[in-house]
Every structure is written in structure tokens, then in C-alpha cells.
């Protein structure tokens, strides 16, 4: 039976690959996609989520969530990495699908699913904090929140020396989730920086020549996380999705994690307690990645998806 998931996202180049991986994977069923502001503004992330759903022929609803952090006004988007439209300038046809209000949509999908839902949050955690605040009993029914965000001391930050982008953008929202007391898997930079993927790792996909291949080729080339001169980059968000599709890709440690949301130099830092001094473990922290297995999963699944969309006249 496929695991029902909701994808909370700010597409976003690596978000787009993660949504493709979910669409391609029979282990999961996408109940809905909810956009949040992050990599670019909500007007772009919501439009990109809807256009991706169209491209992938997804019948699930798409929602518009928060247009900015809970209260911080001093963090900003990542257009230098993802381009002004969030997809490195790639133009998908504008979607005409109606967008629902994101937080009520998320709550309804959790309440009406016959099986407990996994929320895969691959953007800032603002929508998740709003869900927790507005619908706490519903949020408690979530089987697990799998997030891309933060990092351990090995690799703490990509936005400041101490903070990863998704957590830095809205640290109060992240602190809300980590203190809520629900199962969490944290796929942070210490893991995603092991998950480098470039065109050399996607031979079947790039040979398949359909709409997914065309878009991924553009996204990889325009992702300004690339480790020049190669086109390899950390596919942060796909790794979080892969943790749900095939948990054997990651090894994790069960540890206590909290978020520094005040520090002058450390706002947005995930404080991972390897010493067991600050509280009971509340999070499965991704530590190691089977990179070969991850690259193989991406290439095999996305190429199958491309072939099946092409067969449907994509
Ligand atoms: C995270 O921040 C965003 O730029 C990416 O989409 C990913 O979710 C990596 O720090
Ligand atoms: Ca993202």
C-alpha cells in the first residue's frame, strides 16, 4: 500500500526534482502539494507547484500557503540560487488549476486520509507551524514530518555559517515543529552535501528525451549550487523525499534537536544534542547517505516517469 504524503514546498529547482521523484514512485501517493514562500516569493512557488502538477499529470489538489515567515522580516529569498522564477528561468505553461488555501487544505487531507499521513516539508516550515497553531489535534495525527533543513556540526549552514536556508528563513516556525512532540526525520546539510548529483549520474533520464528529461537538464545546468567545473550539486529536497520512498538510503541517529531562533550570529541553527544533555530525543537525524543508491533511484524513477509521460503524449 503506498504511503500517503503531503509535499510542503517552495519550488525551487531541487524541489522540482523531489516532486518528480514522488510522482514517479509507487511507494508513495501524493495527496496534495502546498506551496510556501522561500526560495522565491509565494506568487512564483505556488505557480510553479501548480505547473509542475500539470506537467506530471497529478490529479491531487495544490494549495497556497504562507507568503512569508511567521514574524521575521529580515530574511530573504534565494533567487541567486534558483533564478527569479524559482526554476532557473525554465518556463512551464501557466496553470489554470484553482489553488486552495494551503493550511485548510493540509488539515483536510490529514483528517480525511484513511491512513496516517507523512508530511514531507522541503521548504521553510511556516506552513507547518501554522498547521500546528491552527489545527493542533490534526497535526498530531501526522505519522511523521520528514523535513529538509538544518544540519549537524559537520555541515551546519549554507545561508549563514550557522544556519541552513529553510531553517534560517523562518527559525520560529522550525522551533515550533521541533518542540511539538511528533515524529520528525531531519535531512540536513550534513547528509545532503553527500548527495551530489550531476548529469553524469542521470544517463537513462537524459537519454529518454521527454518533458522530464528536458526540464531536469535545464534545472541542473542553471542551479547555482553547482560545484564548478562539474555540474554536480546537492539534491537536498530529493534526498528528503528519497528518505520516504526508500528509507534504506539513509542511516539516522535518534537525538534531541532544537532551533536557535534568537541568536545574533546563530539564528536558524539546528542544535543537535549528541551528548544527550538537553532533552529526550525528538528527531531521527540523517547522518549517512548511500549515494550510489540515491543516484540510481533518481535516474531509474525519473526516466520511467519521462517515458510514461511521453507515452501519454507529453
Ligand atoms: C534548501 O534550501 C533551498 O534553497 C532548497 O530548495 C532546499 O530546500 C537547501 O538549503
Ligand atoms: Ca526547497
Q: What pTM value is reported for the model? A: 0.97
**24's grid cell:** 514517479
Task: Name residue, grid cell 520560529.
Answer: 172
Return the pLDDT at 149.
98
Mutation test residue for ligand 1: of 13, 14, 286, the one with most atoms within 8 Å of CB = 14
Minimum mean pLDDT range among 18-27, 75-84, 218-227, 290-299: 218-227
Does residue 158 have its Cβ closer than 6 Å to ligand 1? Answer: yes
Where does the pLDDT of residue 225 fall: very low under 50, low under 70, confident under 90, or very high at 90 and above?
A: confident
Topology at the third CATH level for domain 3-310: Inosine-uridine Nucleoside N-ribohydrolase; Chain A (3.90.245)
Q: Give ∠ CA 4-252-110 in degrees, rounded to 5.
A: 20
Where does the pLDDT of residue 111 fall: very low under 50, low under 70, confident under 90, or very high at 90 and above?
A: very high
Q: Is the pLDDT of residue 314 over 60?
A: no
Query: Which is the catalytic residue, given 44, 82, 135, 236?
Result: 236
How far apart, in whole angstroms, are the C-alpha atoms of residue 286 and residue 233? 18
Q: Which residues, 6+ apart, have CB-to-CB distance to 81 below 8 Å?
A: 13, 39, 223, 224, 225
How far apart, in whole angstroms, are the C-alpha atoms of residue 150 and residue 260? 11
Q: Which residues, 6+ apart, have CB-to-CB distance to 168 below 8 Å?
A: 75, 157, 159, 160, 267, 268
Tens-digit pLDDT profile for residues 232-267? 999 999 999 999 999 999 999 999 999 999 999 999
Map 138-150 to HEC letters.
HHHCCCEEEEECC
Return the pLDDT at 78.
87
Mean pLDDT across the chain: 95
Does residue 147 have its Cβ closer than 6 Å to ligand 1? Answer: no
Q: Is the pLDDT of residue 182 over 80?
A: yes
Which of the ligands is closest to the CA of residue 148? 1
Mean pLDDT of 78-91: 91
Does residue 164 have its Cβ closer than 6 Å to ligand 1? Answer: yes
Tens-digit pLDDT profile for residues 135-150? 999 999 999 999 999 9
How far apart, in whole angstroms, are the C-alpha atoms of residue 174 and residue 172? 5
Phi first, then psi, for residue 250 (nearest 5°) are -115, 150
Mean pLDDT of 110-126: 98
Q: Which residues of 239-253 are buried (b: 16+ CB within 10 A; e: fewer)?
A: bbbbbbbbeebbebe
Count of positions (residues) in the chain? 314
Q: Is the pLDDT of residue 95 over 80?
A: yes
How far apart, in whole angstroms, are the C-alpha atoms of residue 95 and residue 97? 6
Mutation test residue for ligand 1: of 77, 236, 239, 240, the one with most atoms within 8 Å of CB = 236
Question: What are the extents of the domains in the chain?
Answer: 3-310
Return the pLDDT at 81.
84
Amino acid at each position: 500500500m503506498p504511503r500517503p504524503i503531503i509535499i510542503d514546498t517552495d519550488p525551487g529547482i531541487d524541489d522540482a526534482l523531489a516532486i518528480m521523484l514522488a510522482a514517479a514512485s509507487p511507494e508513495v501517493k501524493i495527496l496534495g502539494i502546498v506551496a510556501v514562500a522561500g526560495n522565491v516569493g509565494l506568487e512564483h512557488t505556488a505557480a510553479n507547484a501548480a505547473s509542475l502538477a500539470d506537467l506530471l499529470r497529478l490529479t491531487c489538489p495544490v494549495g497556497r500557503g504562507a507568503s512569508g515567515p511567521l514574524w521575521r522580516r529580515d530574511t530573504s529569498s534565494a533567487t541567486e540560487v534558483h533564478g527569479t522564477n524559482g526554476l532557473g528561468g525554465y518556463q512551464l505553461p501557466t496553470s489554470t488549476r484553482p489553488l486552495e488555501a494551503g493550511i485548510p487544505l493540509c488539515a483536510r487531507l490529514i483528517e480525511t486520509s484513511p491512513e496516517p499521513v507523512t508530511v514531507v516539508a522541503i521548504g521553510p516550515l511556516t506552513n507547518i507551524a501554522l498547521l500546528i497553531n491552527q489545527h493542533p489535534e490534526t497535526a498530531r495525527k501526522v505519522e511523521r514530518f520528514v523535513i529538509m533543513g538544518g544540519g549537524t556540526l559537520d555541515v551546519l549552514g549554507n545561508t549563514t555559517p550557522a544556519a541552513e536556508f529553510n531553517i534560517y528563513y523562518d527559525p520560529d516556525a522550525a522551533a515550533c515543529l521541533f518542540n511539538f512532540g511528533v515524529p520528525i526525520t531531519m535531512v540536513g546539510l550534513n547528509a545532503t552535501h553527500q548527495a551530489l548529483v550531476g548529469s553524469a549520474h542521470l544517463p537513462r533520464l537524459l537519454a529518454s528525451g521527454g518533458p522530464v528529461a528536458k526540464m531536469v537538464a535545464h534545472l541542473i545546468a542553471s542551479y547555482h549550487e553547482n560545484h564548478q567545473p562539474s555540474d554536480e550539486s546537492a539534491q537536498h529536497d530529493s534526498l528528503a523525499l528519497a528518505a520516504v520512498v526508500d528509507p534504506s538510503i539513509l542511516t539516522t541517529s535518534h537525538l534531541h534537536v532544537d532551533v536557535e531562533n534568537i541568536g545574533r550570529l546563530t539564528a536558524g541553527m539546528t542544535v543537535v544534542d549528541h551528548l544527550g544533555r538537553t532533552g529526550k530525543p525528538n528527531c531521527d537525524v540523517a547522518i549517512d547517505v548511500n549515494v550510489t543508491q540515491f543516484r540510481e533511484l533518481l535516474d531509474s524513477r525519473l526516466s520511467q516517469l519521462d517515458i510514461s509521460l511521453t507515452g501519454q503524449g507529453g
